[in-house]
Amino acid sequence: LTTDPDGEHAASGRYKASTRVPPELYSPASPGPQREPISTYFEEKVPIPEDDLTKLFSFRKLWAFTGPGFLMSIAYLDPGNIESDLQSGARAGFKLLWVLLGATIIGLLLQRLAARLGVVTGMHLAEVCNRHYPTVPRIILWLMVELAIIGSDMQEVIGSAIALNLLSVGRIPLWAGVLITIIDTFVFLFLDKYGLRKLEAFFGFLITIMALSFGYEYVRVAPNQGEVLKGMFVPYCSGCGPTQLEQAVGVVGAVIMPHNIYLHSALVKSRDINRENKKEVKEANKYYFIESSIALFVSFLINVFVVAVFAEAFYGRTNMEVSLQCNETGSAHSELFPANNETLEVDIYKGGVVLGCFFGPAALYIWAIGILAAGQSSTMTGTYSGQFVMEGFLNLRWSRFARVLLTRSIAIFPTLLVAVFQDVQHLTGMNDFLNVLQSMQLPFALIPILTFTSLTSLMNDFANGLVWKIGGGLVILVVCAINMYFVVVYVTALNSIVLYVFSALLSIAYLSFVSYLVWRCLIALGVSRLDFRGSVQYPPAVLMDEQPEFDS
Q: With a cut of 60, say whether residue 40 has pLDDT above it.
A: no
pLDDT at position 42: 58
At 49, the pLDDT band (50, 70, 90 cuts) reads confident
CA–CA dist 305, 271 (Å, integer): 33
pLDDT at position 304: 96
At 195, the pLDDT band (50, 70, 90 cuts) reads confident
Listed as own residue / partner, the contacts of 495-502 with beta carbons closer than 8 Å and 24 or more positions apart are none
Per-residue pLDDT averaged across 355-367, rounded?
A: 93
pLDDT at position 484: 77
pLDDT at position 292: 96
Which residue type is seen at 91? R
- Residue 132 and residue 521 in contact, taking contact as beta carbons nearer than 8 Å: no
Apex 206 CA angle, 158 and 293, nearest 5: 105
Q: With a cut of 60, say whether residue 550 has pLDDT above it.
A: no
548 to each of 3, 32, 124, 189, how far by Cα in Å?
8, 16, 18, 33
Q: With a cut of 90, say whether residue 551 has pLDDT above it.
A: no
Listed as own residue / partner, the contacts of 7-15 with beta carbons closer than 8 Å and 24 or more positions apart are 7/31, 7/37, 7/38, 7/40, 7/42, 7/43, 8/42, 10/545, 10/546, 10/547, 12/546, 13/546, 13/548, 13/549, 14/276, 14/546, 15/542, 15/543, 15/546, 15/547, 15/548
Q: With a cut of 50, say whether residue 23 has pLDDT above it.
A: no
Q: With a cut of 70, say whether residue 22 has pLDDT above it.
A: no
Which residue type is seen at 301? L
CA–CA dist 130, 489 (Å, integer): 34
Q: What does the pLDDT look like over 146-160, one tens digit per residue?
A: 888 888 888 888 888
At 96, the pLDDT band (50, 70, 90 cuts) reads very high
Which candidate, 550, 471, 484, places its Cα nearest to that of 29? 550
Q: What does the pLDDT look like over 67-85, one tens digit per residue?
A: 999 999 998 998 888 988 9
Bridge partners, 3 (sequence order): 9
Q: With a cut of 50, say whether residue 480 has pLDDT above it.
A: yes
Which candidate, 444, 443, 529, places its Cα nearest to that of 482? 443
The helix (run of H) or strand (run of E) holding residue 280 is helix 278-314
Which candidate, 415, 409, 438, 410, places its Cα nearest to that of 259? 438
CA–CA dist 344, 319 (Å, integer): 5
At 188, the pLDDT band (50, 70, 90 cuts) reads low
SS (H, E, C) 476-494: HHHHHHHHHHHHHHHHHCC
CA–CA dist 378, 376 (Å, integer): 5
Contacts (Cβ under 8 Å, ≥6 apart) of 489: 246, 249
Which candidate, 352, 377, 367, 372, places its Cα nearest to that of 207? 377
- Residue 253 and residue 480 in contact, taking contact as beta carbons nearer than 8 Å: no
CA–CA dist 117, 128 (Å, integer): 9
Phi/psi of residue 46, nearest 5 degrees: -80, 125
CA–CA dist 88, 100 (Å, integer): 10
Phi/psi of residue 343, nearest 5 degrees: -65, 140
CA–CA dist 514, 535 (Å, integer): 18
Q: What does the pLDDT look like over 324-354, one tens digit per residue?
A: 888 888 887 778 888 888 888 888 888 999 9
At 262, the pLDDT band (50, 70, 90 cuts) reads very high
Share of the chain above pLDDT 70, in %: 83
- Residue 37 burial class via C-beta count within 10 angstroms: exposed 0-12, middle 13-18, buried 19 and up: exposed
Q: With a cut of 60, say whether residue 20 has pLDDT above it.
A: no
What size, in residues, is the chain? 552
Supply the mean pLDDT for the chain: 81
Per-residue pLDDT averaged across 238-252, rounded?
A: 82
pLDDT at position 181: 78
Which candidate, 136, 75, 152, places its Cα nearest to that of 407? 152
6 Cα distance to chain centroid: 23
Highest mean pLDDT out of 299-303, 371-375, 462-466: 299-303
Backbone φ/ψ region at 30: left (φ over 0), alpha (ψ -120 to 50), beta: beta
Q: With a cut of 80, say whether residue 217 has pLDDT above it.
A: yes
At 447, the pLDDT band (50, 70, 90 cuts) reads very high
Q: Is the dihedral of CA 295, 252, 452, 477 positive or negative?
A: positive
Per-residue pLDDT averaged across 128-157, rounded?
A: 88
CA–CA dist 122, 128 (Å, integer): 10
